[in-house]
Amino acid sequence: MPAPASIDIFCRVVDNYGDIGVCWRLARQLAARLATSTIRLWVDDLASFARIARGISTDAPLQTVGRIRVVKWDDVTSRDPGLLQPAAMVIEAFACSPPEAYVARMSDRQLWLNLEYLSAEDWVESCHGLPSIQPNGLRKFFFFPGFTPRTGGLLREGDLLARRDRWQADPHARPDLLSRLGVEAAWLDRLQAGARLVYVFCYPQAPLEALLRTLASTRQETLVLMAQGVGPNTPPLPAGGRLALHRHEFVDQDTFDQLLWSADLNLVRGEDSLLRAIWAARPMIWQPYRQEDALHLQKLDAWLARSPYSPEIRRVMQAWNGGSDAEFESALAPLLAPAAFAQWQHSARAGCDTLAREDDLVTRLLAFHAKQHQTR
């Protein structure tokens, strides 16, 4: 299959970390797969990028991290017009539109793709791969990630699940990481003795207090981990109790994955951490990014409809995304009982294994490129 000799990925950070999170994973996976291709990532917000990636300078107009050339979108083009030479494959993330001067240099020799947001909704299959004719006559193709064979697939590194399994089998991996993140020794001992670890990455609307109350009401001791800034209004928990909350500084994406592999229950948000929680194969609750007209609830329902989860597990996710505190508590409490939780663990593992049998997004992207190459 002919691989593209060069790839440009364009990323504008609209909000939060999902835009750059997806683009950085994509860039790294392409670099790992295509040893001889030149890969550039154009980003307009290096400060957000630096929070989730190691070695990113927040003021360098141009820098190389691993094999990836990172271009600070706004600064660089006026200083070095040579950068505007388009790559063979041009990926704009989430319809962010490359600079005009760049587009002006493009021709039908480039494969131009708009990488869209992940959704499990049915319409994605009929839109994936469609071209849209641009004002300059060029074709831009929609590339939709998705959960079925007729979509663009899901981002997953080739060795991800093997790395996860090694991590989960290593008795030192979790305590070493938690200790590096400042978790106190007494809690490391409790976790070793069977306390529960819950990782929470949620939006401010989530019923976080109801979650903490429910966790505190069970017999099992629980440590909740959250990044700084997440759930900013969380009330302090009584010291020395059965439930504790530990906050960590933002970590890079690989460490973030390890946190999800380490937890017994993951509460995640947006699209990138949804996927990473799926690949962690541990019980999880998803909170999609809030959209107007409650479109995010349609996204949730579409994903739940494709998930292996029981009606009880679906109910807890729906309550996390708009139910009352009481609805959430009454949905979650029975699922934390040992037999129900074991069933949840089983479903999470089965769901992950099913999806992992599909080709991943980068494989489908390169196949799409090869097909377009043949028909040109």
Secondary structure tally for the chain: helices H, strands E: 16, 13
Q: Rule CB under 6 A: is residue 73 a binding residue for ligand TRH? A: no
Q: Which of 271, 272, 329, 360 is catalytic?
A: 271
- What element of type H or E holds 80? none
Concatenate the DSSP letters of all residues of 245-292 into one string.
Answer: EEEE----HHHHHHHHHH-SEEEEETTHHHHHHHHHTS-EEEEPPP-G
- Which residue, judged by CB position, is nearest to ligand TRH in the bound state? 18
> Positive or negative, the Cα torsion across 222, 225, 226, 228?
positive
CB of 252 to ligand TRH, least distance (A): 6
- Closest C-alpha among 104, 85, 94, 105 to residue 7: 85
Q: Rule CB under 6 A: is residue 52 a binding residue for ligand TRH? A: yes
Q: Rule CB under 6 A: is residue 271 a binding residue for ligand TRH? A: yes
- Please report, as residue ranges, which positions from 186 to 215 form the binding site for ligand TRH (by CB under 6 A): 201
Q: Which amino acid is at 159?
A: D
C-alpha to C-alpha distance for 312 and 351, rounded to whole angstroms: 16
CB of 22 to ligand TRH, least distance (A): 7
Q: Which of 8, 19, 221, 264 is catalytic?
A: 19
Q: Rule CB under 6 A: is residue 227 a binding residue for ligand TRH? A: yes
Instruction: Check if the beta carbon of residue 5 is closer than 8 Å to that of residue 90.
Output: no
Neighbours of 75 (CB within 10 A): 15
- Closest C-alpha among 373, 345, 354, 368 to residue 113: 368
- Is 271 catalytic? The answer is yes
CB of 180 to ligand TRH, least distance (A): 13
C-alpha to C-alpha distance for 332 and 211, rounded to whole angstroms: 8
- Please report, as residue ranges, which positions from 274 to 293 form the binding site for ligand TRH (by CB under 6 A): 289
- What element of type H or E holds 79? helix 73-79
Under 8 Å CB-to-CB from 135, ≥6 apart: which residues? none
Q: Which two tokens stand for residue 18?
A: 């999902």
Count of residues near ligand TRH by CB under 6 A: 22
- Order the strands of the 89-93 sheet from edge to edge: 62-65, 68-72, 38-43, 6-11, 89-93, 111-115, 139-143, 131-133
CB of 20 to ligand TRH, least distance (A): 8
Q: Rule CB under 6 A: is residue 156 a binding residue for ligand TRH? A: no
Among 2, 5, 14, 217, which residue interacts with ligand TRH (rule: CB under 6 A)? 14
Among 4, 18, 146, 153, which residue interacts with ligand TRH (rule: CB under 6 A)? 18
Q: Rule CB under 6 A: is residue 145 a binding residue for ligand TRH? A: no
Among 141, 142, 167, 250, which residue interacts with ligand TRH (rule: CB under 6 A)? 250
Specify the residue, 28 or 72, whose C-beta has the smaller distance to ligand TRH.
28
- Is 19 catalytic? The answer is yes
Specify the residue, 16 or 179, whose C-beta has the smaller distance to ligand TRH.
16
Among 39, 251, 280, 302, which residue interacts with ligand TRH (rule: CB under 6 A)? 251
CB of 55 to ligand TRH, least distance (A): 14
Q: Rule CB under 6 A: is residue 45 a binding residue for ligand TRH? A: no
Q: Which two tokens stand for residue 319?
A: 């309550």
Among 4, 10, 19, 231, which residue interacts with ligand TRH (rule: CB under 6 A)? 19
Q: Rule CB under 6 A: is residue 21 a binding residue for ligand TRH? A: yes
Query: Which residue stretch of 79-87, 105-113, 179-187, 247-255 sits at the interface with ligand TRH (rule: CB under 6 A)?
Result: 247-255
C-alpha to C-alpha distance for 89 and 98, rounded to whole angstroms: 13
Q: Rule CB under 6 A: is residue 231 a binding residue for ligand TRH? A: no
Q: Which residues bind ligand TRH (CB under 6 A)?
A: 14-19, 21, 52, 117, 201, 227, 250-253, 256, 269-273, 289
Enzyme catalytic residues = 19, 271
